[in-house]
Chain A
Amino acid sequence: MDFDLTEEQRLLKDSIDGLLADAYDFDKRKLYMKEKGGWSQGIWSKLAEQGLLGLPFSEEDGGFGAGGVETMIVMEAMGRALVLEPYLATVVLSGGFLRHGGSAAQKTAHLPGIIDGSKTFAFAQLEKQSRYDLFDVATSAKKKGDGWVIDGEKFVVLNGENADTLIVTARTAGGQRDRSGIGVFIVPADAKGVTRKGYPTQDGLHAADITFTGVEVGSDAAIGDPANALPLIERVVDEARIALCAEAVGLMDESLKTTVEYIKTRKQFGVAIGSFQSLQHRASDMFVALEQARSMSMFATMAADFDDAKERATSIAAAKVQIGKSAKFVGQQAIQLHGGIGMTMEAKIGHYFKRLTMIESTFGDTDYHMRRVSEAGGLI
């Protein structure tokens, strides 16, 4: 049992922390938001240069063969700096599908572009009715000759507006809520029949609603088994949940730090408001919530390697519950302790709060995962 980072992991942490400390203060972030697509190609290239976009991919695929702990380190750092760039959508989610389900040909075709930073991806999964159920898929993929024809609508696709390539879940057989008959397909974003309506999200990222109308793709477009890809989807989305937990820990860590700094300097009644016990206790409760979340983020990271599939899924769901609760508490209290200034777009704390809020409802909110843990019989 060990919670320390290895020497190499510590170097990685130093390297990403250093990069973001130089390149990603809150003012610079505002400039990046104004760039094309709402994030910085320059930063993305730097991430590629430092090998961070190739981190989880095997060495034979041109990556570094890193594991979950490395992704945790990167996501936590990105949370701390409130990074806009599409790491989750491209490396964790889409990269995850290629890593776990992709054929040799698919990897050869797509991984180099991810790793060198020339291409970004998006995972088109959410539908109007599906909410958090990954198996609820109405979008269809019908066989045509050797290939497939995809029809349907996907919503709030992170990085969907800018992505070069989309990874799309679509039903190849069965009813809308059947667990079998779901496939995962690689679709070029500029394919005929793909219509994207992009928009900024509440937390300053960018997403798109995407319509697929008779979109034709080849037989090589399917990742894994087109008749039974739900296990693959669950695996990759679980990895994204773990990554989100780490990002949230980074966000909470920075939120608490910023809040404590603020109440140490903000004076009222002639003294720093941080000298008031009611505020001290609130800040202490934020610390407790953060540490509990940090513990569960680490737990989820390690749980990804559990052999028992049910235990694995339940552990990750439990982590998302803890993160959701902690994130809500830390985020709300950070605003409260900042007072009026916390309500302004100008102060950075509100932006942390908004990102934390959006994370809670990504890939299952607290209630959803609480139900999953209950249905699995709990943790004890």
Chain B
Amino acid sequence: MNTSVNIAGVTFKNPVMTASGTFGSGAEYSEFVDLNRLGAVVTKGVANVPWPGNPTPRVAEVYGGMLNAIGLQNPGIDLFIERDIPFLKHYDTKIIVNVCGKTTEDYCEVVERLADQPIDMMEINISCPNVKEGGIAFGQDPKAVEAITREVKKYAKQPVIMKLSPNVTDITTMAKAAEAGGADALSLINTLTGMKIDIHRQQFALANKTGGMSGPAVHPIAVRMVYQVAQAVDLPIIGMGGIMNAEDAIEMILAGATAVSVGTANFTNQTVTTEIVDGIEEYMSRYGVDDVCELIGAVHE
């Protein structure tokens, strides 16, 4: 049975990855999960300099999901290179570094710093809804998406994944723009902007007022968007959004994703990623699938 997938020339032992921001750089979860069993670890967004993030409360639970407004707190690229990459190099898994910034120059600086690092891919976060500058500002206008993709590609030595926002009228427009800018792959979806109000205190549940919604409630939206984007572009897709188990992951692959990222589910179950790896294999055995790639976009009318 083959469970490996290929994205932009990089081979992953299986299609299961961690969604950026939910898994740190893997150190905390390595106490529960054998990182060697994952297709890739996608690290928390890192910027050119350390970011303190937003005030607390930064998270709130909602029915079937959660809101977060962490605000991309990160230690900056220097410490990340010194500490986090060497940590992950102890494991037999691929490393995808999520990159964030306030300006195009910030993104390019990080991408340039990563050029000589032993990482496999970069995921460019142009879809964070929780920061005032950068983030989603680059991800809601197709011209901006194409321009930043093109700029980042000038400095990138590793393949570039553009991470798209669902907070747009038509995500295929953004996907096409990223493709036109030279993206090697796409990640979708980032979180959906939401809000929760504590009716007892009559206050916003999050200090940031709004936050990105994730969790099982957003999964059908993510499946729909992955399907639409798979129809619209020729790029490989890493599908994410509310994947809680192997069934959800397989659904995403059938919709057109080459790989999947598991995020919020890690908070519910620390070992969910490897359970999904096992579950995909069980599904393949059950349905006589020899190669997981046969499942990519295999949904039919």
Do these two chains really belong together in a complex? no
**Interface positions of A (Cβ within 8 A of B):** none
What residues make up the interface of B, taking CB atoms closer than 8 Å to A?
none
